[in-house]
Amino acid sequence: MLETSADGPKYSIVVPFHNEEESVAELHSQLSRTMAGRFEPVEFVYVDDHSTDATPRLLADISERDQRVRAVRLKRNYGQTAALAAGFDLAQGEIIIAMDGDLQHDPADIPGMIETMEQTGCDLVSGWRKKRVDNFWLRRLPSRTANWMMAKLSGVDIHDFGTTFKAYRRDVIKEISLYGELHRFIPALAAWNGAKVVEATIRNVERPQGKSHYGISRTGRVFFDLITIRFLMRYMTRPLHFFGPPGLGGLAVGSGLLLWLFFEKVVYGSHLFLEHGPLLLLGMILVLFGVQLLAIGLLGELMMRTYFDAHRQPVYRVESVIGARQYTGTRE
């Protein structure tokens, strides 16, 4: 029986599984061979996202034979982001590597990712499937388009946001709160916190079962998540800057229309509903639209202030502090 080091693991491998009974044993065997020797001590955090096949039984068997393995089963199928979040929360290694459980990622690429991190001093190494093996029209073309949009809107110049295969320094990934389907945006969220992100080329292996759990149907969800990330990165701490300009614009235009119609009514005695009915409705709608956007922006500002005050979370991240002595107000 293999045992973990008393000092704790240096590396953690986090793998989410959902109905992957065909690949569980083979993946663990490959990972064990890859990490043996040079990359020890290591732990394997396997998260079962409430599989309905033999996956939980196989993971339990592996954890009994290998004490480096922690097998976690979620109470229901939460999705890949939640499964990864559970694995990251439990991981104790200084460097945490995440990958899929369907054998589309080659464990032999892990040493290269770790070496890239050590050589560059970066905080996150993102895998780049430079040569894709899946269908061009259904997978590669939508993926290239989405990755191009993500890179432009996030400001993080990498080619492949979609792959789970990434290596993180522990303090970087522990700072990121994951929910929804934000796992593909981790590089953008990490860069927003000041992390250095680089890429490493990885192999894109053909899945043994020949199919993915995710298809082109998720394109719409990716687009909405992209809008969310763009908003979070630019306006999370100042939501009124996002809602304010269109709110003020609508309020100004609507008020101008209503003032002109009021002038028409008072000076010329115009029948507003008969002669300017559509403009009257437009003016009222624009005023209401502007007031609502301004109110949403102000509520957002109040919520952010409440959040930072309640959690005492700083709006910055400190890279280093020079000088260890505390200021006492006196000269020694």
Could you give the CA distance from residue 25 to residue 14 in angstroms, rounded to a whole number?
15
Check residue 177 and give its pLDDT.
Answer: 86
Hey, where are the domains in the chain? 11-235, 240-310
Q: Which residue has the higher pLDDT, 294 or 224?
A: 294
pLDDT band at 207 (very low <50, low <70, confident <90, very high): low
Could you give the CA distance from residue 189 to residue 175 in angstroms, rounded to a whole number?
10
Q: What is the pTM of this model?
A: 0.79
Q: Is 268 helix (H, G, I), strand (E, B) or coil?
A: helix
Average pLDDT over every residue of 225-249: 87
pLDDT tens digit sequence for 112-158:
999 999 999 999 999 998 887 666 666 677 778 878 888 887 788 89
Average pLDDT of the chain to the nearest whole number: 86
Check residue 182 and give its pLDDT.
Answer: 82
Of all residues in the chain, the percent with pLDDT exceeding 90 is 58
Are 153 and 226 within 8 A, CB to CB? yes
pLDDT band at 328 (very low <50, low <70, confident <90, very high): very low
Tell me which CATH homologous superfamily contains domain 11-235. Answer: Spore Coat Polysaccharide Biosynthesis Protein SpsA; Chain A (3.90.550.10)
Check residue 307 and give its pLDDT.
Answer: 77
Check residue 314 and give its pLDDT.
Answer: 67
pLDDT of residue 331 exceeding 50, the answer is no
pLDDT tens digit sequence for 54-78:
999 999 999 999 999 999 999 999 9
DSSP H helices in the chain: 24-35, 55-65, 80-90, 110-120, 141-154, 170-174, 186-192, 219-235, 240-263, 272-275, 277-311
- Greatest mean pLDDT among 4-8, 204-208, 253-257, 310-314 lies in 253-257
Considering only 15-19, 110-114, 229-233, which range has the smallest mean pLDDT? 229-233
pLDDT of residue 280 exceeding 60, the answer is yes
Tokens of 263: 């002038």
| Bridge partner residues of 107 (DSSP) | none
Among 225, 39, 229, 197, CA closest to 126? 197
Check residue 327 and give its pLDDT.
Answer: 41
pLDDT of residue 325 exceeding 50, the answer is no
pLDDT tens digit sequence for 80-106:
999 999 999 999 999 999 999 999 999
pLDDT of residue 167 exceeding 80, the answer is yes
